[in-house]
Structure 1
Amino acid sequence: MKKLIYILIIVAVCLAAMIAAPSLVGDKGYVLIQLGNLVIETSVVALGIMVFVALVCWVIIGMLLSRTMRLTKLSGSWFGNRSRRKTQRAFYRSIQALAEGDWEAATKASDLAENGDFEGVNYLVAAQAAVARGRKDTAIRKLNEATEYDSSALAARVTLARMALAEGQPRDALKELAQLNDKQQASASAVKLKVQALAESGQWAKLEEELGGYKKVLGDDYAKWSKQIAKGRLAEVASKQGAIALKAFWQALPRKQRNDIGYQAAYAEQLLNQGMHQEAQSVLLDWQKRGPHPQLLPLLKNLQLPNPAPTIKALEKWIKADEENQQLYMVLGYVAHHAGDNTLADKALQKAMKLHPTQEGLLLLAEINEKANNRESAMAFYKQSLNVK
């Protein structure tokens, strides 16, 4: 509006000048315009008036056109916003339906939201709904579409890797994870799946090589995988070459690995599997000189020796230092039972059950008492075990 006023003021000044000038000199002026056969004769004042009217008309038409275009844009924007709101509602509904377990509704809503700009999350929702409905091909297609968005690529690849692992295809899982960028591959979800895929594909050497770099990400699972690697390698040697080769392989390992608790637990387990219980007892007690270790202590339960005096002595020493440790009594009970000393076994197990009853311990007590013809006690322990998980 201000622009129009300025223009009208300028035109008015010009017009006043054109009218006033001839009047001041007593001459209205003469203007001749010839365009081919068209001849226009007029005065300066009349020409000024015509120019003024033309400019006013031009300004008014310009304003009308501007407002018309603005209204057209607003109308298009309104329809566009309405369409976007509809797409957003469909997207939110797909998430709600997925949480509700209504796979059909989730699929329909995600289809309506497919053209929305949701950074690939709409494809992730659609893929989950397809998986729930058993439509693997659709799920894979949707997940591949989601990988085209940087913010959804990690979730999509990880899901594809999980699907491959669930179908027993660890190498396909590794291929999916390899397509992630360096930052995405370093994420906890990708690392954990890669470790699992390497283990399931039997690539123990590669897993052992890379595991050290994943220690921070894996946290408490690091020791578990370290043991799994050792178990895999040692089991392969034991199954193919036997007990003597197993001991030779162990002695040839670097000191760092022989001092690794995961390798120690795996080696002791393989010794037990090979029937080398005396050797297993020796190494397990040697590695626990400073006290029981949570990964090594349970392995003592599997010792089957006629005279496990060193183990019983060590357990009794640890019990004196920690009289409320239920696990120590349990292990002592098993060691004594396997050695044929059911009196000591019964005593140790009953103490363990007073501290923390378990179905495993109660069933072993029932077995011991049944062999000793204490049928009433055996029946009582059997009944008690039914009420313990």
Structure 2
Amino acid sequence: MKKLIYILVIVAICLVAMIAAPSLVGDKGYVMIQMGNLVLETSVVALGIMVFIGLVGWIIISTLLSRTWRLTKLSGSWFGNRSRRKTQKAFYRSIQALAEGDWDAATKAADQAENGEFEGVNYLVSAQAAVARGRKDTAERKLNEAADYESSALAARVTLARMALAEGQPGDALKELAQLSDKQQATAPAIKLKVQALAESNQWAQLEEELGSYKKVLGDDYAKWSKQIAKGRLAEVASKQGAIALKSFWDNLPRKQRNDIGYQAAYAEQLLTQGMHQEAQTVLLDWQKRGPQPQLLPLLKGLQLPNPAPAIKALEKWIKADDENHELYMVLGHVAYNAGDNMLADKALQKAMKLNPTQEGLLLLAEINEKANNRESAMAFYKQSLSLKQ
């Protein structure tokens, strides 16, 4: 409005000047405009008035057009905001329905939110609903659409990889993970799935080569996978070449692998499988000189020796240092039972059951008492085992 007033003031000043100037000199002036056959003759004053009217008309028309344009934009913006609010509401509803387990409602709401800007999360919701409804093709399509968004790519590819592994297709899982960026491939979910896929596809060499760099991410699972790698390699040697070749293969392994607890557990298992119980006892006790190791201790249960004196001596020493350790008594009970020393086995297992009753221990006690013709005790232990969950 201020701009309009300024313009009108300027025009008025110009008009006054055009009218007043000729009057001051006693001459109104003369103007002739010729355009082809058209000739327009007028005074300076009349021309000034026409110019003034024209400018005022132009200002009024331009102002009306400007306001009309702004009104149109505001209307469009209002409708656009209303549409966005509706899409956003559908998106939130899809998440709520997914959490509620209402797959149909989640799918319907997610479809309504497809045109919204949610960085692919709406496609992830739709895919989860499709998975729950058993619609694999739809789920894969939605996940691939979600993968086009950088912030949703990891979740989408990881889900596709899990689906591939669930169907026994580790190769497809690896292909999905390979499409992630380097930064995304270094995340814990991607690494854990890659390790699983490599193991299921028997790519032990590659897994062994990469496993060391994943140690921090895998945490406690590192030893499990290390053992799995070792088990795969050692089982292959034992099955193809026999026990002697197995021992030779172990002796020729690098020190780093021979000191790896996963490899040690796998080697001891293979020795027991091959019937080399004396050798298994020797290595298991040697590797536990500083005390029992959670991954090695249970393997002593598999010893089948008529006189496992070194193992019993070590177990009794450990029990003396930790007489409330249920697992130590359990292992001692198994070692003694396998050696035919039912009295020691019964004593150790009774102590273990006082600390922590288990089906395994109670069933073994029932078997020991049955062999000793203590049928009532055997039946009591058997009934007690049934009351416990496996």
TM-score bucket of the superposed structures, by smaller chain? over 0.9
Q: Partner residue of 1:356?
A: 356
Partners of 2:20 and 2:324 in 1: CA distance: 117
Taking the TM superposition and a 5 Å limit, the aligned residue runs for 1:110-259 are 110-259=110-259
Q: Partner residue of 2:260?
A: 260
How far off is 1:41 after superposition?
2.0
Write out per-residue CA displacement over residues 171-210 of structure 1, whole angstroms, 9 at most, x where no aligned residue: 1111111111111111111110000000000011110001
How far off is 1:63 after superposition?
0.9
Write out per-residue CA displacement over residues 100-146 of structure 1, whole angstroms, 9 at most, x where no aligned residue: 11111111111111122111111111111111111111111111111
Partners of 2:217 and 2:24 in 1: CA distance: 95
- TM-score after normalising by structure 1: 0.97
Partners of 2:323 and 2:122 in 1: CA distance: 58
How far off is 1:37 after superposition?
2.7
Percent same amino acid among aligned pairs? 87
Aligned residue for 2:317, secondary structure, equals helix
Partners of 2:40 and 2:209 in 1: CA distance: 98
Structure 1 residue identity aligned to 2:23:
S
Q: Partner residue of 1:329?
A: 329
Aligned residue for 1:41, secondary structure, equals strand
How far off is 1:383 after superposition?
2.4
Q: Partner residue of 2:340?
A: 340
Partners of 1:215 and 1:20 in 2: CA distance: 96
Quick check: 34-43 or 124-133, which moved more?
A: 34-43
Q: Partner residue of 1:383?
A: 383
Structure 1, unaligned stretches of length 5 or more? none
Aligned residue for 2:32, secondary structure, equals strand
Write out per-residue CA displacement over residues 309-328 of structure 1, whole angstroms, 9 at most, x where no aligned residue: 10000000001111111111
How far off is 1:98 after superposition?
1.2
1:32 aligns with 2:32: yes
Q: Partner residue of 1:82?
A: 82
Structure 1 residue identity aligned to 2:340:
G
Structure 2 residue identity aligned to 1:316:
E
Q: Partner residue of 1:14?
A: 14
How far off is 1:355 after superposition?
1.2
Structure 2 residue identity aligned to 1:8:
L
Quick check: 260-269 or 26-35, which moved more?
A: 26-35
Aligned residue for 1:32, secondary structure, equals strand
Aligned residue for 2:307, secondary structure, equals coil
Partners of 1:310 and 1:7 in 2: CA distance: 110
Question: Where do 4+ consecutive residues of structure 1 move more than 3 Å?
Answer: none
How far off is 1:30 after superposition?
1.6
Structure 2 residue identity aligned to 1:180:
L
Partners of 2:337 and 2:252 in 1: CA distance: 35
Partners of 1:13 and 1:354 in 2: CA distance: 112
Structure 2 residue identity aligned to 1:263:
Y
How far off is 1:40 after superposition?
2.1
Structure 2 residue identity aligned to 1:112:
Q
How far off is 1:380 after superposition?
2.0
Structure 2, unaligned stretches of length 5 or more? none
Aligned residue for 1:52, secondary structure, equals helix
Structure 1 residue identity aligned to 2:349:
L
